[in-house]
Amino acid sequence: NLKRYKMPVNANLNPNSAARDAVAELTEILRQWEEEHNISGSDPTPHLVKLCELFELHTNNFLKRDPDPFDDRHPVTSDPDGALGQLLRALFKRDVFVTKLVNHYLRDNYFSAQGSSQDSTPVNTAACRLMLDLLHGLDIPQVFRDSESTVAKLFTWAEKAPEPLRTYATGLLSAAVDIPDIATNFRDNNAHLLPIMLNRLWDLKDEGGQDDVAPSETARVPARPF
């Protein structure tokens, strides 16, 4: 149901040529997906990855325009001629695809439920990545409030999944726990995961190493600069 996603009603529908080309590419990817998604055992991962690459390209282009970080309007409203808003608008008209993405491709038993022995990790990874790309257009409270099992799965993936699924799940989880009801319902899970995340940050810091050249006395930050 498209009411679950926040799409502006009175958007300016005059995309420039780059936006038209982007929407045409999106349409072709979804056409290919539609031809295959009802075939038993078909793998949607290649189509999801193509969508990720398309949205990431135009998200980067959108961010290069230095949008106001406090402007939380949908990109189709804040940048009506830009490709990102038009892509989001076009994608969320595809109710069947969005439902599959949110309700099916995040299942860790996606293939086994169809009687296949194929590993579901690649499709889970691509689905999480795409949902992160779509955060500008998703109604996050509605998506996650309707499926606490998905939130529970994100906690598991954020702790134990292989990379890059672990990182994508962490990103989605950060959006989910920003919702008060979910933060309350998963308080114990969050408390368990927090020290794990802090340790990962320390590990990343150690992997980064130290600068080869020590800072000069004038450049060194004092222990208590306040």
Q: What is the pLDDT of residues 38-95, one digit of tens each?
A: 888 899 999 999 999 999 999 999 888 877 777 777 787 788 788 999 999 999 999 9
Q: Which domain holds residue 131?
A: 1-138
Is the pTM value of this prediction over 0.85? no
Residue 110 near residue 120 (C-beta atoms within 8 A): yes
Residue 221 lies in a domain: no
pLDDT higher than 90, residue 207 = no
Task: Based on the fold, state whether residues 84 and 109 are members of the same structural domain.
Answer: yes
Residue 218 lies in a domain: no
Task: Based on the fold, state whether residues 85 and 44 are members of the same structural domain.
Answer: yes
Task: Based on the fold, state whether residues 185 and 97 are members of the same structural domain.
Answer: no
Q: What is the pLDDT of residues 149-158, one digit of tens each?
A: 999 999 999 9
Number of domains in the chain: 2
Task: Based on the fold, state whether residues 92 and 161 are members of the same structural domain.
Answer: no
Average pLDDT, the chain: 85
Q: What is the pLDDT of residues 15-39, one digit of tens each?
A: 478 899 999 999 999 999 999 998 8
Residue owning tokens 């194929």: 118
Residue 117 near residue 111 (C-beta atoms within 8 A): yes
